[in-house]
Structure 1
Amino acid sequence: MQQGKNADDFFKVQLVGFRKQIRLDGGSCIIEVDKTIAEVEYTDLIIVPAIWGDVMRGTQLNRHYFSWLINQYKNGAEIASYCVGAFIVAATGLLNGKRCATHWAYTNELLAYYPEIKLVPEKIITEQNGIYSSGGGTSYWNLLLYLLEKFTSRKVVIAATKYFLLDLARNSQSEFVMFKGQKEHGDKLVEKVQLYIENNYQEKINIERLATDFSVVRRTLERRFSKATKNTIAEYIQRTKIEVAKKEIEKDRKTINEIMYELDYADKKAFKDLFLKITGLTPIEYKRKYVRN
């Protein structure tokens, strides 16, 4: 891509590591870095990559970078994380009180370990006080385009999107989320209630009756449920129903109205608004996008 300037005129990109040579998969993959963190006195921008596998184990294996990231940020550097690289930035404490996005499949885990952050799971990109984060998978491209525009110009970004066939308009990962509910919280009562909701989503579930059936005071149940799942019971019921609706729409065996009625929704507008709120698309838009004609 030619813009009248070489890429080096805009950026000097370097791969930085704790050691000169990073060995992965038992040494089957070796990465040679340009500089070690000890050799970097100052930089404008640091991009923290994603972690593969067990994210908390990966975070601890990268603990050598924590103090370096903190010091660089204090010295004026900006920090961007890709996907679950947010776990590393969160571990430094730099995300406390700040908005953050990550891969939708890891939102519950991130919030469980770092409750001080302001998680916005639907976002593709967040920016606050010189710290950026992005959602999962290909949202890395959206983050790069966002940074490219900030440090160069809109003209350069548009040229890049055309050259690499990238979608500049995408700003939410809500439609990609597959809701499974957080079940690794250890509260057996809450887990039983979750399973009941998931197995009886077609019914009109009354929270008072739910508390009675599980022999617990409603206020206690609601408090424990919210603490464990990061959703109220009403929100959990709604998200469960919409997840079912998405799967039924993808099958393309029933009309949207049939799916709505089977999920105990009688108000078309209410169902449409709820679907839009959770997925970022209306039911018709979702069908157009995911059902092959």
Structure 2
Amino acid sequence: MTTITIAICHYPSALRSAIYGLDELFMLANRVCKEHNLRCQFVPTIIETFENHDETYQIVILPPSMSGDYYRHPNTEHIQWLNEQHRSGSKLASACAGSFILAHTDTLQCRAVTTHWGLADDFRHTFPNQPLDIDRILIDHGDIVTAGGMMSWLDLGLDIIAKHAGEFVMRQLGKMLVVDTAPREQRYYQQFIPLTTHNDHVIRQVQQHINLHYSSSLTVTQLASLVHLSERSLLRRFRQATHYSPNEYLQRLRIQKACDLLEASQYPFEHIAHLVGYQDSTACRKTFIKIMGLTPRAFRQRFNG
């Protein structure tokens, strides 16, 4: 019998539905394994205190956080315990805001992680040297696994089950729970919400102009002239404030507007492309796929109720 010991961290303000949902998910996996005579057993334990807790687990999971500030400022004992678990051979895993706690440890070594797309700006501000990829729901480095959205604890749990009990058990659980176990990406769901809480009021003026005139032809030269900056200064300050170049910002804003129209209307995509500022619908389609990871048609099928 292969036994997989798992610690689920019940830290302050951790999402209880994720904590107990993961616990029950592994119990259900055990039931599937037993029914099909598979010699694999998951042993989850919910951990609430970390000081003087010496047991080593094969996997340690940091669930999402519902509220509060703990994930931004975890206590020292918790971080030391995670570092010790990792040094002892444990795989550390996080979902959503749990990646903030992981980033406080010594374990990431500048390897890319993911978190909820809505926390991306906060994460980058808090950990400016830590690579972040919010397009992906799951990033697995072997010893470190991070998952993106609030409900990505389910993706994380199913991935752990697939790796240790097999794809068959994971698919059976998907059928039992009526959840989609097919591969997907977080960027299918993310929205472009421009960062405006920075302190550069000149760049905010440029953002406001783009937001009002995104369907028009806009160039860096025009935008720089608008706020009396050189093009080089505009590019530097714009990226520093928003994390995008002006053109990247414009394309993401246009694609977000296209997403809104695909969800809320029955307009043909060629008309939507024109409404959001593209003269060539083929160029719009290519940009849409690059940013969203889906074709416009697949996006509409998934999200247009």
TM-score band by shorter chain is 0.7 to 0.9
Determine if the alignment matches structure 1 residue 46 to structure 2 residue 60: yes
SS at match of 1:132: strand
Deviation readout 1:175-226 (Å, 9 max, x if unpaired) = 2111111222222222221121111111111111111111111111111111
- Deviation, 1:37, is 4.5
Deviation readout 1:19-77 (Å, 9 max, x if unpaired) = xxxxxxxxxxxxxxxxx44223311110011222244x543154431111112111111
1:79 to 92, 99, 106: 92
Runs of 5+ unmatched residues, structure 1:
19-35
Structure 2 Cα separation of the partners of residues 7 and 187 of structure 1? 59
Task: Out of 170-179 and 251-260, give the one that drifted further.
Answer: 251-260
2:42 to 2, 5, 11: 11
Structure 2 Cα separation of the partners of residues 230 and 95 of structure 1? 22
Alignment check: 8 A CA contact 2:215 2:275 kept:
yes
1:165 is aligned with what amino acid? V
SS at match of 1:177: coil
Match of 1:22 in 2: none
Q: Structure with the greater relative contact order (CA < 8 A, sep ≥ 6): 1 or 2?
A: 2
Determine if the alignment matches structure 1 residue 221 to structure 2 residue 234: yes
Structure 2 Cα separation of the partners of residues 115 and 7 of structure 1? 45
- Deviation, 1:265, is 1.0
- Deviation, 1:261, is 1.0
Determine if the alignment matches structure 1 residue 211 to structure 2 residue 241: no
2:282 to 262, 269, 284: 269
1:12 is aligned with what amino acid? V
- Deviation, 1:147, is 0.9
Match of 1:155 in 2: 168
1:206 is aligned with what amino acid? T
1:14 is aligned with what amino acid? T
Structure 1 Cα separation of the partners of residues 42 and 237 of structure 2? 50
Alignment check: 8 A CA contact 1:16 1:37 kept:
no
After superposition, the Cα gap between the structure-2 partners of 1:54 and 1:2, relative to the gap in structure 1 and judged at 3 Å, is closer
2:64 is aligned with what amino acid? A
Deviation readout 1:62-107 (Å, 9 max, x if unpaired) = 4431111112111111100011111111122422411111111111
Matches within 5 A, 1:240-259: 240-259=253-272
SS at match of 1:47: strand
Structure 2 Cα separation of the partners of residues 61 and 73 of structure 1? 17
Match of 2:81 in 1: 68
SS at match of 1:159: helix
Match of 1:289 in 2: 302
SS at match of 1:161: helix
Q: Over the residues paired in the alignment, what is the CA RMSD in angstroms?
A: 2.0
Match of 2:211 in 1: 198
- Deviation, 1:171, is 2.4
Alignment check: 8 A CA contact 2:64 2:96 kept:
yes
Structure 2 Cα separation of the partners of residues 214 and 168 of structure 1? 49
Determine if the alignment matches structure 1 residue 237 to structure 2 residue 215: no
Structure 1 Cα separation of the partners of residues 265 and 86 of structure 2? 50
- Deviation, 1:170, is 3.3
Match of 1:135 in 2: 148
Match of 1:167 in 2: 180
After superposition, the Cα gap between the structure-2 partners of 1:204 and 1:54, relative to the gap in structure 1 and judged at 3 Å, is farther
SS at match of 2:153: helix
Match of 1:99 in 2: 112
Structure 2 Cα separation of the partners of residues 125 and 16 of structure 1? 23
SS at match of 1:12: strand
- Deviation, 1:289, is 2.0
Match of 2:16 in 1: none
1:82 is aligned with what amino acid? A
SS at match of 2:44: coil
